[in-house]
Structure 1
Amino acid sequence: MQPSWVFVSSLLLLISAGKTEELDEELPPRIQPRIYDGKETSNGLFGGMAVQVFYRTKLICTGTLLTDLHFLSAAHCFDRRTLDGYHVVGGITKEFSGHNKNYKRNKLVAIRISPDFEREDFIGDVAVVKILFGLRSKYIGYATVCKSPLYPSDIVTVAGWGYSGKNHAGARNTLRTMRVNIVEKHVCEKELGRSLPKNVMCAGGYNGQTICQGDSGGPLMFRNQVCGISTWTYKCGNTLKPDIYMSVRYYAKFIIKAVRELGF
């Protein structure tokens, strides 16, 4: 039986018309990474920038803090008609239990979604979200929007809160990371048997470590920059095909503009 594409739909930025030239504008001064079979991590190792996104009491996605008031995630995480019922938790790497003195919880108040978002084709799966109160503590950090082009020799770090074991049996209560290589687009297309839009990128270790359900919106990090947003996997834990991420560099102008429009 052919494995089916897995849309990473439960759970670490601006959209342009399609250009990837170096950015000629900067973020404001205040804007300065659950993995299948991945390693548990800590805020110290990951900078405290990966936050948990909840709908009511269910952990559904991961986000990446860009400022104390804005985070980046996947558009498909926010398919409800309103933001009522959503909240975000930062400052911890264990699932929120209400007993961790370091956690910061916050309501979502506004969102900007990529104008080219197409859920059926997994295009433009990018969202910038504003929260009610600033997330600030010594356990919380902020990522910079990617300006670096990535190459196959580059090793990146991916983080998420999704399933971490076979048959979705692994715990989902700990932030996990994995280190993988960037995969050239033409190689990725050949291995996946399909053409890919220019706004996505591929990465994988071919070692059974993949993103899985629960990792959507999580960051792909390179040198303290968030350069990708977790979007697709062919099959959780597979060793044959890479995973797919939205390219943050492609969407950088959209993300910066969204942060400015949402305000501080």
Structure 2
Amino acid sequence: MTFFNTVLPFLSSAVSFVFAALVLRRFAQKGGAHLLLWGIGMVFYGIGGFCEGFYGAFGWNPLIFRLWYLFGAMLVAAWLGQGTVYLLVRRRGIAHALMILLALGSLFGAVRVFGAQLDPSLMTGGLHTGSELSGKAIITAGVRTLTPIFNLYGTLALVGGAGYSAFLFWRKRVLLHRTIGNVLIAVGALLPAFGGSFSRMGVPGALYISEFLGAVLLFAGFLRATTPLPQESATAVEAQKA
């Protein structure tokens, strides 16, 4: 058991589940499909971190691996991104259509992942550090090719949406707290991708460090985006008095 491959993933999982509970509570209070999907996405993030920590502490387990690959590697970015789609796309027909495609694609992905053949001995091959879970264990053709599709969609929607929102708020010089929050969300969403790249280059712990920092920044970004700065609150009060 080490800090990087056990403690950090469990910490990422804890942060993600707390974040998910906060977002889902806000959804229960105010509604909004974007909040529901963000909450579900962070539950997936938490499941992924838990599975990584389990692997670090107890070693290989086929069920844990399949749960990690489905929720942590394949679906988390797409579901978070779909929440951003519901927040920003005004034409609900487009958002609903993309949601249907995502739901069907997720179901198909689940069937493929849980029906795939596994060879855990392949996870330590190549440049991978061997201390982290890797999709190389899946030897059934066509399963791993699904993951980049989900991740590309999710990253474009989440990072692109956050960046676009931050730019609009900055250009209009309003709602500075949302500008800051969206920047943090965009950076947090990108960090795991960079960590995965460094991991494939053989940097130990890079993936788990980036996932933990990503969860923290996503959480911080959400809190910042939903909490006005003191001067903004004062301005709003003055406007109401005028």
* TM-score, L = length of structure 2: 0.29
Larger radius of gyration, structure 1 or 2?
2
* TM-score, L = length of structure 1: 0.27
| Greater strand share, structure number | 1
| Greater helix share, structure number | 2
